[in-house]
Every structure is written in C-alpha cells, then in structure tokens.
Amino acid sequence: MKKLVLVLAFSAFAFCGNVKGQIVQSGSNAEEVDSLKQVVSTLSARIDEANEKDMDQKVWKDRAKYFNIGIVKQSLTSKDDLVKYKSNIGVNLTWGKTYYLHKKPLFGMVKIGLDWSWMDFNYVKYSKVEESYVDDGGYDPFYDSYMDGEEDLDLDFGCHQLEYGMQIGPSITVNPIDHLKISTYFRFQPSGSVMLLDDEVYYGFVPFFNFGAAVAWKAISIGVEGRWGGTKYHGVSVDDEGDYTEESYDSADDFVETFTQRMRTKSFRAYVSFRF
C-alpha cells in the first residue's frame, strides 16, 4: 500500500512538472512571435519610408529644372501710329528651375514653388500690318485710304522683334498619381526688347507678365502660356527725305531721326519642356 501511494505521488509530481514546462514553453513561443511581428512591422515602415523618399526624389527633386522650346504667335500694337503688326513665325527658349517652398507635399500631392527662369529668349518675324484702329475699336479712314484697299504694307527690311529677359513668380504643382504632374504659374518677366520695323530701329525695357499651365509625365512636359506687356520705345531711323548739303554731313543729327513710340505686345506661346 505504501509503495502504491509513493508511485501515485511520483506520477502526480511528474505530470505537474510536465504541464508547467509546456506552459513556460508556450509563453516563450508567444513572446518570440510578438518580437517577430515587431521586427516585420519596423522593416515594413522603413521600406515604405525609403520608397516614399525615392518617389519624392524622382517626382520633385529630379524634375525641378526645365528647358522649354516653343512656338510663338504674337502681335505688336502701336498706340501712336494706330497700326497693328501680326507675327508670321516665332520661336521661344526658356531655361530655369522651380524652388519648392516646403519639403513634404500638402495633402500628399501639392507643392507650392517659386519659378525662376534665368533665360527667356523670344523672337518673332512680323509679316504685315494687320489693321489700323482707333482707341474706341473703330478703323482709321485716313489709313484705309492710304493703303488704297491693300492689306500688306511694303517692308524695306522686314519687321522683326527680339526679346531677352528673365522670369520669376509663384507656381502650384499637383501630383495626383505616379509621375503625372499638373502645374500652373504666374510670372513677372523684365526684358530688353529690340525691333526692326521697316527702316526704323526701336529699343526699350519691357515689363511682361506671363500666365500659363503645363502637364508633365516624368521628363517630358507640354504647356501653354499667355504673355503681355508694353512700354515707350525709343526709335532711330535715317531721314532720307531731308535736304543735305556738304556741310550738313558734319552732324549726325542732320540725317538721323530719333523719336519715341508707345507699343504693346501680346503673345501666345505653346512649348515642349524637358525637366531634369
């Protein structure tokens, strides 16, 4: 009887020890699983952060600079002579960079920036005088009779306009998905302008204003913009109708005529842009 009690007690003690060991082992496995989950979560967060930084680099930082090649449709209006020139051909080159004002996009997709185009080159060739006008929108009968029904004006050297300046102004860019970006901007463009109209040469400083929009996918972008500005130009021409004597050639003022004229320029520009 005593041996039976000892066997039963030993069996009970062994059983209890086995159960306790299983409980301890089970608790250890649970802790290992929790630790593994934390490691996976940390690695996943780091991978997401790395992917976000890589996408931000590709979409925003690697595409901040731009080089535009465009075509220009332009008109030049003289406020004093009451005539308007219409462009035949025109080209435009712009080179600059967008400086974003904050690191992370607003709402995950919007950035506000400051565009600085340190080079803006614009050239047009005017084909003819389009029309004569007066300030109330009507026509000038004297000019119509002078033209005698002809639309084209005979040009001596042709009519050309060349402008070189820089642009600066705010822009808003939206990145709704992947590498697609849609932007709009407004810029101030101080420029130097030189014109050859027939046998007259004009020069002046013109404060232009630009408003445009563009759609970009990775490195390629297409856009359109409107541009307008005006100033008082200084003009120079040769006075070929004067009476010259041998003594008159001693002074340039006798055969060179200088004058001023108020002119206004309006442009429509469409361009392809390369962003890098």
CATH class of segment(s) 65-275: mainly beta
Domain boundaries, the chain: 1-59, 65-275
pTM above 0.75, yes or no: no
Q: How far apart are CA 117 and CA 167, in angstroms?
A: 5
pLDDT in tens, 45-73: 676 666 667 777 888 988 899 999 999 99
Which has the closest alpha carbon to 182: 195, 191, 172? 172
**What is the dihedral sign for C-alpha 118, 276, 226, 184?**
negative
Partners of 196 in beta bridges: 160, 201
pLDDT in tens, 95-139: 999 999 998 999 989 999 999 999 999 999 998 676 565 455 554
If the chain, 276 residues long, is cut into consecutive pieces of 10 residues, what is the mean pLDDT of each piece? 48 50 57 74 68 77 93 93 89 97 92 97 87 53 42 65 98 95 98 92 97 96 97 87 54 76 96 95
